[in-house]
Amino acid sequence: MPTPPARPIRVLLADDETMIRHGVRLILRHAGDIDVVAEAADGRQAVELAAAHRPDVALVDIRMPVCDGLAAIAPLLALDPAPRVVMLTTFGDEDNVLRALREGAAGFLLKDEGPQELIAAVRAAAAGDSVLSPGVTGSVIARMLHGGDRDGCDPALTDERIARLTVREREVLSMLGEGLSNQDIAGRLGIGVGTVKTHVGAILEKTGSASRVQAALLAHRTGLSS
């Protein structure tokens, strides 16, 4: 029997600007494997619609009225099943990006990224990969390294977390710091994607990281990635 087609990636879009939502919806519609199942104008509505429509990925603007994107992260991640939350941001919003990562967001994407970058980000998030917009990543990491993110920065605690990892897990963590996907890591190490996912799960558990993005930041903080 022929293999049935994969189910489209279900996306919730939350942004208070109607034109932004319209543009993103049109871009994702042309992807073929992505379906925007709900749109919200604020964080509270995003949580309600996510509970009703069960999206795989939630694209959430950081700055919204009533309930902003930052406040929506925790209730979104408390849903069962929980969507992968990707924050939509702009240049100069690094402080809020750091807060979002601490709350467990899967990553961040600049609003003015191109169509292909947007589609790739949704696919990466749905696959469990991190979403790190190059235009923001460098600034976020630099701010963290210079004290912008104090959570878990005790050197002794950080060393203890790294010491829990196997040699292979440290290799994988270093590549997470480079922003590589599971597929890219598998290709570089010559192992299966399933094995990479197992390593990533172990890394998150052993380091106490809430997401791949937090693990990537840890890799930079400890010098495993530069």
% of the chain residues with pLDDT over 70: 85
For the record, the structure tokens of 124 come out as 């990466």
Domains of the chain with bracketed CATH: 9-143 (3.40.50.2300), 152-221 (1.10.10.10)
Q: What is the pLDDT of residue 41?
A: 96
Average pLDDT, the chain: 85
Q: What is the pLDDT of residue 86?
A: 94
CA-CA distance, 4 to 81, in Å (whole number)? Answer: 23
Q: What is the pLDDT of residue 224?
A: 84
CA-CA distance, 55 to 49, in Å (whole number)? Answer: 9
Strand 34-40 and strand 57-61: pairing?
unpaired
Residues 6+ apart with CB under 8 A from 4: none
Q: What is the pLDDT of residue 83?
A: 96
Q: What is the pLDDT of residue 157?
A: 65
Q: What angle do CA 120, 122, 124 make, to 5 degrees?
A: 65
CA-CA distance, 145 to 183, in Å (whole number)? Answer: 28
pLDDT in tens, 152-200: 455 666 778 888 999 999 999 998 887 777 888 899 999 998 899 899 9
Strand 107-110 and strand 34-40: pairing?
unpaired
CA-CA distance, 42 to 75, in Å (whole number)? Answer: 13
Instruction: Classify residue 148 by its DSSP letter.
Output: I
pLDDT for residue 103 is more than 70: yes
Burial (Cβ within 10 Å: 0-12, 13-18, ≥19) of residue 220: buried
Type of residue found at 175: M
Q: Compute the 3-state secondary structure of the chain and give helix, strand, coil in percent, each to the nearest 5.
A: 55, 15, 35
Backbone angles phi, psi at 8, to 5 degrees: -60, 150
Strand 131-132 and strand 57-61: pairing?
unpaired
Least-confidence region, from 95-104, 135-144, 195-204:
135-144
pLDDT for residue 144 is more than 80: no
% of the chain residues with pLDDT over 90: 46
Strand blocks (E) in 75-194? 84-89, 107-110, 131-132
For the record, the structure tokens of 29 come out as 């519609």
